[in-house]
Chains A and B, each alone.
Chain A
Amino acid sequence: MAVSRLASSSLSKLLLRPLSAPPFSRHFSAAASDDDWTVLTIETSIPFTGHRIDPPSRSVDTTRKELLSFFRDMARMRRMEISADSLYKAKLIRGFCHLYDGQEAVAIGMEAAITKRDSIITAYRDHCTFLGRGGTLVEVFSELMGRRSGCSKGKGGSMHFYKKEAGFYGGHGIVGAQVPLGCGLAFAQKYSKDETVTFALYGDGAANQGQLFEALNISALWDLPVILVCENNHYGMGTAEWRASKSPAYYKRGDYVPGLKVDGMDVLAVKQACKFAKEHVLKNGPIILEMDTYRYHGHSMSDPGSTYRTRDEISGVRQERDPIERVRKLILTYEMACASELKDIEKEIRKEVDEAIRQAKESPMPDPFELFTNVYVKGYGVEALGADRKEVKAFLP
């Protein structure tokens, strides 16, 4: 008991780094705030820590336009996840549902550094990654509710979002399984010489799966352009990282693979790290990015999220490290917009989300015969024949 208290309090200290207004190198006058494109340089919350690599600079270039879009995109994700929570409680979403609120800066910062020709593959906590890849709210809510207009035609549900044309390879239910898949994607990219890369995301819990180490070796052996992104939200279900990992320094766990520890609550730091990582892997092979982040919700909808961590810990992170509040503060500090304008944006987002839910509810369930489609390519395999192999044949497309 004593041990656990000690360890968890040191953990919470680790989690709570203050969100101080960062120093800035180029002054941004109120007048210039009209100019969306003026470049300003902002320092990341904390320095990056490297493993077998010199970390990138803390100074990140951004613009008013970018910061406002970060704010809007992250607020949209937050609102979406909170609405999903309500829909789940109203039993409109069934199955297992894992929410991403708290971790938004990872999805958004990553997108800011790469293009849709780069690939992303992740686990089941995939709603926001999908949105980041250009997915729509209607597709999200429809999929969550198992409707036809969902991004997987209502057949996947919360854990299985995909968007092929934007290089989003989903949406995987088996913890750790997506990481070697990411290596395969990266091999194909390397082969086609089109200077694209794969971001393979996994959690701190997943980091202990054997597949992770297989993927590390393979990708290093063949110099694959893959970025292994450990979204360290410090818990795998109810298990704190230190209970499950001998070394919770996930960025170092590739041993011979370089790594970078990043404040995953600071969208600019994430952007900087991903940009750096992309350049690195194209030249040198894989890298690990450990994103220090936090999930506010419980692991899934059946987990209140408060039995294995203190409410103080959660509210502490909310107050001091929240990714959206950090950007809000930046915007206000640099007078890029006033508080009421940001509030207006949030109001618009609420409307947008409500409207998307309304539309999603109107979307019909998939046709019953969809139960039998996509098991094999039509005509290339056994077609399902129903309970006693007589009944349902007629419904096959």
Chain B
Amino acid sequence: MALRGLGRRISIGKRCFSSASEVEKPPRDGKPINLFSAINQALHIALETDPRAYVFGEDVGFGGVFRCTTGLTDRFGRNRVFNTPLCEQGIAGFAIGLAAMGNRAIAEIQFADYIYPAFDQIVNEAAKFRYRSGNQFNCGGLTIRSPYGAVGHGGHYHSQSPEAFFCHVPGLKVVIPRSPQQAKGLLLACIRDPNPVVFFEPKWLYRLAVEEVPEHDYMLPLSQAEVTRQGSDITLVGWGAQLSVLEHACDEAAKDGISCELIDLRTLIPWDKETVEASVRKTGRLLVSHEAPVTGGFGAEISASIAECCFLRHGLQLEAPVARICGLDTPFPLVYEPFYMPTKNKVLDAIKTTVNY
């Protein structure tokens, strides 16, 4: 009963997003736009600045399910922005081939839940092309974009967070933005990065997250986490839509006098261990949070790595076990989604438990 009340409150709770940190502040000269428009801007710029860039996927010629590709066909023509048939494995394989010829292949998989038919191509063909050909070939121009995560009522096949599967694959990069400004800069960086990248977009934020986004062409660095909030008692690490949940939890914790440091990992592999480690050395405590099921999630990797480097070393140590607040080990449910989710109150409880350990 208590659980139910909790869930309902959280499911109503509006998600917001965090803007750029104090540390790294892109100029605030832009108009307020939402996340899908920021993606759309990035794609416009990518196609504009590189005549060898292509955008394709199911229904992208019509703007895509989430409007991310609106206007691209009109602007750049059907030879550069086009619909594919419904065939994810084919889309990924085609994209790899296109990229192998020196092009920027920007492929959309309509929902991350549908990336599994393409999994083999991404894992076995894309990720290992450079390595196994002794650097003769690569598909570095490949970027696969896909909306991931919960939307409140997406059910089993419109809600999954499959990032951890791809984090187990050396040769790939995995990047997830938390806000419109971040999305634009990171996506452009991914498209121009000479390695294949899987870019997951938090679909919950497509419309909900609005912030000022510079209109010009800018990139944000990959493999650099960002400390979005400074604190001294505990380090919170997350990515994508979860950042806003963590932010709320930080606010609540502050009311109880707990000072949280919040880190947006941004790039999951290769990840910025140094930033996380430095923070944990300062706070002595770590909480990792993601929507994907806890077991085998990327939070496990972060926890293990930090335990390795911060446990009784150099006189600095973890003062409490690493907390993981993640999705449950169940399929993503249709009913009781808020129970499944790593909600603000669950995070807050864990912050308190960890700090008072």
> Which residue of chain B has its CB nearest to the CB of A203?
B86
Closest B-chain residue to A145, C-beta based? Answer: B335
- State whether B330 touches A371 (Cβ < 8 A): yes
Decide if B329 touches A238 in the complex (CB within 8 Å).
no
Which residues in B have their C-beta under 8 angstroms from that of A388? 323-325, 346, 350
The verdict on A157 contacting B83 (CB below 8 Å), with A96-B155, A388-B350 known, is: no
Decide if B336 touches A94 in the complex (CB within 8 Å).
no
| Given A210-B90, A371-B340, also A243-B329 (CB < 8 A) | no
Cβ of A387 within 8 Å of any chain B Cβ, yes or no, is yes
Inter-chain contacts of B323 with A (CB < 8 A): 388
**Which of A371-386 touch B at CB < 8 Å?**
371-372, 375, 382, 384-386
B243 CB–A CB distance under 8 Å: no
Q: State whether A94 and B153 are in contact (beta carbons under 8 Å apart), knowing that A174-B114, A175-B86 are contacts in the complex.
A: yes
A372-B83 in contact given A238-B59, A308-B62 (Cβ < 8 Å): no
Known: A236-B86, A371-B330. A366 touches B155 (CB 8 A): no
**A96-B331 Cα distance, complex, nearest whole Å:** 16
Q: Shortest distance in angstroms between B343's beta carbon and chain A's nearest beta carbon?
A: 9
* Chain A: number of interface residues, binned into ranges: 35 or more
**Contact assessment for A237 and B58 in the assembled complex, using a CB-CB cutoff below 8 Å:** yes
Interface residues in A197-216 (C-beta closer than 8 Å to B)? 205-206, 208-211
Least CB distance, A177 to chain B, in whole angstroms? 8
Question: CA separation between A395 and B1, bound complex, in Å?
Answer: 11
**B117 interface residue per 8 A CB criterion:** yes
Closest to A177 in B: B117
Whether, in the assembled complex, B119 has its beta carbon less than 8 Å from a beta carbon of chain A, the answer is no
Name the B residues within 8 Å of A382 (CB-CB).
Answer: 295, 329
Which residues does chain A contribute within 8 Å of B339, judged by CB atoms? 368, 371
A307 part of interface (Cβ distance < 8 Å): yes
B14 contacts chain A at the CB level, 8 A cutoff: no
Chain B stretch 44-96: residues in CB contact (< 8 A) with chain A: 58-59, 62, 65, 83-87, 89-90
**Given A96-B155, A371-B328, A375-B329: A244 and B83 interface contact (C-beta under 8 Å):** yes
Contact of A208 with B330 in the complex, beta carbons under 8 Å: no
- Contact bitstring B111-134, A, C-beta under 8 A = 1, else 0: 001101100000000000000000
Assembled-state Cα–Cα distance A395/B323 (Å): 21
The yes or no answer to B3 lying at the interface (CB within 8 A) is yes
Tell yes or no: B285 within 8 A of A by CB: no
In the complex, whether A225 has a CB less than 8 A from a CB of chain B is no
- Inter-chain contact A210/B89, CB cutoff 8 Å: yes
The reply to whether B154 and A365 form a contact with Cβ atoms under 8 Å apart is no
In chain A, positions 344-359 with a C-beta closer than 8 Å to chain B are: none
For residue B61, give the distance in angstroms from its CB to the closest CB of chain A. Answer: 8
A321: CB under 8 A from chain B?
no
A95 an interface residue at 8 Å Cβ cutoff? yes
- A371 and B90 CA atoms in complex are apart in Å by 35
Q: In the assembled complex, how far is the CB of residue B292 from the closest CB belonging to chain A, in whole angstroms?
A: 13
Contact A238 B333 (CB under 8 A): no
A42 near B: Cβ within 8 Å?
no
- Chain A CB within 8 A of B203 CB: no
CB pair B335–A155 under 8 Å, yes or no, is yes
Which residues of chain B are near A94, meaning CB under 8 Å?
A: 152-153, 155, 334
**Most B CB within 10 A of own CB, among A208, A386, A388:** A388
Return chain B residues, CB-CB under 8 Å to A307: 62
Complex Cα gap A159–B332 (Å): 14
Minimal Cβ-Cβ distance residue in B for A205: B86
Asked if B155 and A157 sit within 8 Å, CB to CB, the answer is: yes
Counting CB contacts under 8 A, is B25 at the interface?
A: no
Q: A205-B86, A244-B83, A371-B330 are in contact. Are A96 and B158 (CB under 8 A)?
A: yes
A155, A174, A205, A244: the one contacting B333 at CB < 8 Å is A155
A94 to B: closest C-beta gap in Å: 4
Q: Separation in Å of the A138 CB from the closest CB of chain B?
A: 18
Most chain B CB within 10 A, of A243, A307, A371, is at A371
Q: Which residues of A contact B114 (CB under 8 A)?
A: 174-175
Known: A157-B155, A174-B116, A210-B89. A243 touches B326 (CB 8 A): no
Nearest residue (CB) in A for B328 is A384
Closest to A303 in B: B65
- Say how far A8's CB is from chain B's closest CB, in angstroms: 14
Q: Are the CB atoms of A209 and B87 closer together than 8 Å?
A: yes
User: With a CB–CB cut-off of 8 A, which chain A residues contact B65?
Assistant: 237
List 23 interface pairs A-B (beta carbons < 8 Å), by A numbering.
Answer: A94-B334, A96-B157, A96-B158, A146-B334, A155-B334, A157-B334, A159-B155, A173-B113, A174-B113, A175-B86, A175-B114, A176-B117, A208-B85, A209-B117, A210-B117, A237-B59, A238-B59, A371-B328, A371-B333, A371-B340, A384-B330, A387-B346, A388-B346
In the complex, the 8 A-B pairs of residues with the closest C-beta atoms, listed nearest first: A94-B153, A173-B157, A208-B85, A95-B155, A244-B85, A157-B334, A384-B329, A205-B86
